[in-house]
Amino acid sequence: MSHPLRLGIAGLGTIGAALVHIIQSTDNRLSVSSLRTVEITGVTARTRNKERDFSLDGITWFEDASSLAVSEDIDVFVELIGGDEGPARESVEKALQAGKHVVTANKALLAKHGVALAKLAEEKQVSLNYEAAVAGGIPIIKTMREAMSGNKVNRVYGIMNGTCNYILTRMEDEKITFEDCLKDAQRLGYAEADPTFDIGGHDTAHKLSLLTSLAFGCEVSFSSIYLEGIEEITLSDIEAANTLGYRIKLLGVAQETESGIEQRVHPAMVSKESAIGQVSSVTNAVAVEADQVGSLLLSGPGAGGKATASAVVGDIADIARGLKVPVFGRPCASLKPYERARMRLHEGGYYIALDLLDKPGAFAGVATRMAERDISLKSVVQNQRGKEVDGIKNQAQHVVIITHETTEKAISEALESLINDGNVVGKPKMIRIEKLD
């Protein structure tokens, strides 16, 4: 048997601790499945003397990640620090430059610097593996990077943030407001004290940018993603969706169009009967539509120490077996420049909610403005839950509209005209309706 594969782990938080436990387990499954002994020879973390529930005996402690990254005593640098700059970027670059394989769970780093890091790994003929960066324990990177090599991908989409899915699920099941549900999610540890990264859609966008590159053979372009979070979703929206046979999910969607590649992260209404519509709580799910295999859906835990560490272990096992594949599924020289599609050409049905002044001609004006842009209305529901205007109740009626397929450009122009007419109170809400299997 060849010499042991020596790991240097930077970051001993939830994921790092779970990783150490797996590698140090008595039955040593990783070494057995890899046909090679795998051992930890170096670690680093923010605090050296912190009490931990695993032993670091015989393992060298490094004061910083960069020193660990270039140590002659490691073969693989495992980056679990996080962040797209600072110690994470510096240490990964140094490890690759020193000819070390790298395994990372850092989607932000790869979304911003993935192509440059891939070129460096290719130049040094080492692996850069990142299964844990997208959807936790779901093996979506390996599936797309290796198993689907003979396929032309048409679309990739999914629920990629457990915090958002937990909030939207509870709002529907327990009829509680977004604000109250977010507080509970923070108390239970599903959401951070500052939840912006999750509920604003940034986490999903980082992950989507990596899947887009794998799907369409293009350079990673996080900055090109249309981004919209779930902060404005109300219990009224959830209830309206439920009545109409839909659920609201925060989706990441990427597809190739005639005008380029479309990447978008936003709340969407999906059929309750669809596979993605039945994914609840903190679970993640990613679907890939391709010409040979048809439609695949991978679902499972999208976060958590054990699930994410499991993905890290899979990447380490590949290195131990001598398996090395291009970072984004093909040599960097063959990655196409990213060409952004014109988002406003996106077609589909739409949910529109607005508060309309209760006066003659206002309701007829809605139908007129929609008709002017060839928007066909599937259903219109009007009720008394509108806003007060000048302190008088029910001066504005709440109207919910479902359209047939149309373009985002047409919807946006129609809503702008309605606002200019002066009959709408506040800002109308628009949620896309996605046709998914």
pLDDT of residue 188: 80
Q: What is the average per-residue pLDDT within 5-27?
A: 90
> Is 139 a member of any domain?
no
Structure tokens at 30: 């990783």
* Distance in angstroms (rounded) separating the CA atoms of residues 161 and 151: 26
- Same-domain check for residues 209 and 265: yes
- The first and second tokens of residue 60, run together, are 């060298």
The answer to whether residue 335 is domain-embedded is no
**Residue 118 sits in the same domain as residue 174:** no
pLDDT of residue 387: 63
Tell me, what CATH number does 112's domain have? 3.40.50.720
Nearest Cα residue to 39 out of 53, 58, 12, 66: 58
Who's near 173: CB < 8 A, 6+ residues apart?
none
Local confidence band at 394 (pLDDT 50, 70, 90 cut-offs): low
In the prediction, which pLDDT does 348 show? 87
- pLDDT grade, residue 385 (50/70/90)? low
**Do 124 and 161 belong together in one domain?**
no
For residue range 202-218, what is the model confidence (pLDDT) as tens digits? 999 999 999 999 999 99
> What gap in Å lies between CA 89 and CA 107, rounded to an integer?
12
Enter the tokens of residue 299. 């679902």
The pLDDT assigned to 65 comes to 97
Q: What confidence score (pLDDT) does residue 334 get?
A: 95
- Checking if the pLDDT of 353 tops 80, the result is yes
Same domain, 86 and 161: no
396 lies in the same domain as 361: yes
In a shared domain, residues 112 and 172 = no
Which domain-ending residue is among 101, 133, 165?
133
179 in the same domain as 122: no
Could you tell me if residue 307 is inside a domain? no
Are both 189 and 101 inside the same structural domain?
no
DSSP 8-state assignment for residue 218: B
Is the predicted pLDDT of residue 393 greater than 60, yes or no? Answer: no
pLDDT value for 339: 93
Lowest mean pLDDT among 33-37, 197-201, 351-355: 33-37
Cβ neighbourhood burial of 332 (10 Å; 0-12, 13-18, 19+): middle
Instruction: Determine, yes or no, domain membership for 336.
Output: no
Integer Cα distance of 335 and 327 in angstroms: 11
On the question of pLDDT at 78 being above 80, the answer is yes
Shared domain for 97 and 239, answered yes or no, is no
Assigned domain for 58 exists: yes
Put residue 304 in one of left, alpha, beta given phi > 0 → left and psi -120 to 50 → alpha: left
The model's pLDDT over 273-317, given as tens digits with 9 standing for 90+, comes to: 999 999 999 999 999 999 999 999 999 998 888 999 999 999 999
The answer to whether residues 148 and 293 touch, using CB atoms and an 8 Å cutoff, is yes
pTM value?
Answer: 0.92
Burial 22-60 (b: 16+ CB within 10 A, else e): bbeeeeeebbeebebbbebbbbbbeeeeeeeeeeeeebe
Whether 207 is catalytic: yes
Q: Which one, of 326, 383, 325, 323, lies nearest residue 354 by Cα?
A: 383
Predicted pLDDT of residue 161: 94
Question: How many Cβ atoms from other residues are within 10 Å of residue 21's Cβ?
Answer: 14
Per-residue pLDDT, 343: 63
Whether residue 326 lies inside any domain: the answer is no
Which residue, 109, 133, 157, sits at the end of a domain?
Answer: 133
Rounded mean pLDDT, 10-38 = 84
**Average per-residue pLDDT for the chain:** 92
Confidence of residue 259 (pLDDT cuts 50, 70, 90): confident
284: tokens are 């993640």
Question: In the predicted model, is pLDDT for residue 17 greater than 90?
Answer: yes
Number of H helices, E strands in the chain: 14, 17
| Cβ 151 vs Cβ 292: under 8 Å | yes
> What is the mean predicted confidence (pLDDT) over 383-406?
75
Q: Is residue 27 part of a domain?
A: yes
When mean pLDDT is compared across 40-54, 323-337, 342-356, the lowest value belongs to 342-356
Q: Average pLDDT in the 179-191 region?
A: 86
Q: Is residue 10 part of a domain?
A: yes
Query: Where is the domain boundary, 64, 99, 133?
Result: 133
Cα–Cα distance, 109 to 96 (Å, whole number): 14
The count of structural domains within the chain is: 3
- What ranges in 145-231 are assigned the alpha helix state H? 162-174, 178-188, 196-199, 202-216
Checking if the pLDDT of 255 tops 60, the result is: yes
Residue 389: per-residue pLDDT: 59
In this structure, are 93 and 155 located in the same domain? no
Query: How does residue 390 score in pLDDT terms, banded at 50, 70 and 90?
Result: low
Task: Say which of 100, 107, 207, 429 is annotated catalytic.
Answer: 207
Q: Which pLDDT belongs to residue 347? A: 76
Q: What are 338's two structure tokens?
A: 């990213």
Determine the Cα–Cα distance for residues 142 and 311; give it in Å rounded to an integer. Answer: 10
* Structural domain of 371: 346-433
Instruction: State whether 282 and 352 are in the same domain.
Output: no
The contacts found for 358-361 with CB under 8 angstroms, 24 or more apart, are 358/386, 358/394, 358/395, 358/396, 358/397, 359/423, 361/423
**With 60 as the cut, is the pLDDT of residue 26 above it?**
no
pLDDT of residue 51: 86
What is the average pLDDT across 365-373?
94
Query: What region does 189 belong to: left with phi over 0, alpha with psi -120 to 50, or beta?
Result: left
Same domain, 89 and 166: no
Q: Report the share of the chain in percent with pLDDT over 90.
A: 76
User: CA of 200: how far to CAs of 35, 82, 108, 197, 267, in Å?
Assistant: 43, 18, 15, 6, 10
Are residues 262 and 253 in contact, defined by beta-carbon separation less than 8 angstroms?
yes
